[in-house]
Copies of this chain bind each other. A is one copy, B any other.
Amino acid sequence: MERTKKFLWCFFLTAFTAFVFFNTASWAQDAPLASWNDTLPKQKILEFVSTVTAEGNPEFVVPEQRIAVFDNDGTLWAEQPVYFQVYFIIDRIRQLAPQHPEWKDQEPFASVLKGDMKTALSRGMKPLLEMVMATHGGMSTEEFKHIVLEWIKEAKHPETGKHFTDMVYQPMLELLDYLQANGFKTFIVSGGGIEFMRPWTESVYGIPPEQVVGSSIKTQYEVRDGKPAIVRLKELNFIDDKEGKPVAINQHIGHRPIMAFGNSNGDFQMLEWTTSGSGSRFGMLVHHTDADREYAYDRNSHIGKLDRGLDEVQERGWVLMDMKKDWNTVFKK
């Protein structure tokens, strides 16, 4: 009896030790995707991940090829009434105005300073680019990072009063965790500014700077007084939208993803490129249907317009995620 007890105790201790080491990671995976209802999108995600991670399954994908790409605006965080980066531009123009007395009479800056955003933003691409360059160029990459971090810590959404990083979607945070725990490398592929996102994506999404792809301005390496810097020029480098997304995916990542998540026409080609590869592929569109908890918009929206994806989601075998029906929580808890 004594012997049996000793054996059991010892067996327990050994097993427990092994168990702790084996399971530390998988504990976090209990009940994945808790903020997703048990509807089709969640089922499809679980089914896909279980298929491609099952060794021996003909659809098994080695970890090196488990690349998942996510649009940011409207897919990982909200994008209404305008892209959050626009608030950054506006706040920066106000901050910089004392150094630019000429802006008082110069559009689109004059409208911004008067608080007339509608006029400022209704003049098309050229004035918008001028505002981008005035606020994003002319400093070093390190200075810009500091500016973004200071802003994102303080700034609040004009309608919800939340910090912008609290307007990331809880179900998508759970999805990123779930994919990462299953050996996926998760990338952001966004029309937003690459250097606008990188300072905070690691702490907010668990996505490091080298896994962030976005639009960019040109930069230049300079040594001033013996101190090197990468200086941000006031010149466009790349727009990471529509056909640009597969191009940027190829340039930054170098393989075709097996999962893609988007929400607007700007993501169509990224989903098309991802899901037209061989083997199991997964494409999902976030459909903004919840005016109570978030926003409801698609075909007629100026921001995040979605029509072609809605029309072709069936024939392409993509999953349409209906925010109102499929998510029990929207924003980060």
Contacts and interface: CB of A to CB of B under 8 A. Distances in A.
Contacts of A208: 64, 254
Contacts of A252: 210, 252
A276 B224 CA distance: 12
A17 B253 CA distance: 38
A223 to B, nearest CB: 7
Contact of A246 (B9, B10, B228): B228
Given A253-B209, A254-B212, A272 B10 contact: no
A297 to B, nearest CB: 26
Interface in A191-234: 194-195, 198, 202, 208-212, 216, 219-221, 223, 227-228, 230
A212 B251 CA distance: 10
Given A228-B272, A255-B210, A250 B141 contact: yes
Interface size bracket, A side: 35 or more
A247 interface: yes
A87 to B, nearest CB: 22
Contact of A21 (B21, B185, B219): B21
A243 interface: yes
Contacts of A209: 253-255
Given A208-B64, A228-B272, A276-B228, A251 B219 contact: yes
A269 B10 contact: no
A210 B272 contact: no
Nearest to A218: B247
Interface string A57-70: 00000001001000
A275 B14 CA distance: 47
Contacts of A219: 247, 250-251
Interface string A19-47: 00110000000000000000000000000
A251 B216 contact: yes
A227 B209 CA distance: 32
A118 interface: no
Contact of A10 (B13, B185, B254): B13
A243 B228 CA distance: 11
Contact of A221 (B17, B220, B228, B269): B269
Contacts of A269: 221, 228
A221 B273 contact: yes
A160 to B, nearest CB: 29
A220 B194 contact: no
Given A210-B253, A228-B276, A221 B194 contact: no
Contact of A273 (B67, B228, B246, B253): B228
Interface of A: 6, 9-10, 13-14, 17-18, 21-22, 64, 67, 141, 185, 194-195, 198, 202, 208-212, 216, 219-221, 223, 227-228, 230, 243-247, 250-255, 269, 272-273, 276
Given A13-B14, A18-B21, A230-B247, 8 more contacts: A198-B254, A209-B255, A210-B253, A210-B254, A220-B247, A221-B245, A230-B250, A252-B252
Closest 6 CB pairs of A and B: A209-B254, A10-B10, A21-B21, A221-B243, A221-B246, A210-B253
